[in-house]
Amino acid sequence: KAKSLGKNQYCVYNDGMGVKEVRRMEIEKDLQLALENEQFYIVYQPKWNVKSNSLYGFEALIRWKHPRLGIISPGEFIPVAEETGLIVPITRWVLENACNQCNAWHEKGLTQPVSVNLSTRLFQTSSLVEMIQDVLGIMKLDPSLLELEITESMVLFDINDVVQQLHRIRSLGVRISMDDFGTGYSSIGLLDRIPIDALKLDRLFTEDINTPKKHAIINAIVLMAEDLNLDVIAEGVENHDHIEQLTQLGCHVMQGYFYGKPMKVEEIKDWINNHNTTIVTSSI
């Protein structure tokens, strides 16, 4: 009897795995066509400077509206895109659209940058710098209005090569920020070598910010960033308590559901108009 129970459990477990595998295969298969069939779109999330009470910038976040599976989060399909190499054309698409949108906002008087997330994997392809340069040229965007978010997982690759690419990107006039700082392969020593303009404090620090340990760590990061001349942006800011604590710790730029969820361009319009006086002189 025990044996057959074991066998049943094995089957159930296997079926569960099967569903996941099938979904993943479907995602891989359909990802090819998603670009052509215009199933991707971008949502933008504001970053807010609490000190000056003004907009700091927007982050572009990709979404996929799958015809059958519905909206699929980047957390699910970006890893597949990385494995298949589709991350290159997908990133190019995001860059083109985000730059285009940034230009449109710029024409309406917005002077803040838009940031785009870069997969670490892109630093292993030969054409990343050229792609960025290309898109900036085609879209005729002021490079200082583009910011690229990278993550610490870059340390897993040839760090000399990555540092060289980052220098080339930055010499184009583009800003670079370190996303999810303090979680992954955190290496503070790396800050000495990697050319960046800002640190994004991972959401995990904002959660349970009241613990003494988190306080101490955030405090240290903020002090270090000041000396290194880096902006600090707190991720995952969801409530008044977060804002109060972060402000006390000297962190003044915040991103999270409290200020605004990632929104489609149409919703951003309303959001801007609701925050208008501090963002642009005329409403959009």
Q: Which does 152 bind (CB under 5 to 8 A by kind): Mg ion, ligand C2E, none?
A: none
Question: What phi-psi label fits residue 47: left (phi over 0), alpha (psi between -120 and 50 degrees) or beta?
Answer: beta
Considering the complex, state which of residue 135 and residue 176 has its C-beta at the smaller distance from Mg ion: 176
Identify which range of 32-40, 112-120, 258-266, 271-279 contacts Mg ion by CB under 5 A. Answer: 112-120
Question: What phi-psi label fits residue 86: left (phi over 0), alpha (psi between -120 and 50 degrees) or beta?
Answer: alpha
Q: In this structure, what is the dihedral angle of CA atoms 13, 15, 16, 20, given to the nearest 10 degrees? A: 140
Considering the complex, state which of residue 30 and residue 180 has its C-beta at the smaller distance from ligand C2E: 180
CB of 64 to Mg ion, least distance (A): 17
Nearest residue to ligand C2E, by Cβ distance, number only:
256
Identify which range of 100-108, 117-125, 130-138, 187-195 contacts Mg ion by CB under 5 A. Answer: 117-125
Using alpha carbons, select from 266, 255, 261 the residue that is nearest to residue 112.
Answer: 255
Identify which range of 10-18, 46-54, 66-74, 232-240 contacts Mg ion by CB under 5 A. Answer: 232-240
Per-position DSSP letters for 87-135, written without gaps between them: HHHHHHHHHHHHHHHHHHHHHTT----EEEE--GGGGGSTTHHHHHHHH
Instruction: Look at strands 70-72 and 198-201 and give their pairing.
Output: unpaired
CB of 73 to ligand C2E, least distance (A): 5
Write out the residues near ligand C2E by the rule CB under 6 A.
45, 61-62, 73-75, 78, 91, 94, 117-119, 149, 179-180, 203, 236-238, 256-257, 262
Residue 55 CB contacts under 8 Å (≥ 6 apart), including other chains: 46, 47, 48, 49, 110, 112, 275, 278, 279
179 belongs to the binding site for Mg ion (CB under 5 A): yes
Identify which range of 187-195, 216-224, 228-236, 239-247 contacts Mg ion by CB under 5 A. Answer: 228-236
Note the residues at the interface with Mg ion (CB under 5 A).
117, 149, 179-180, 235
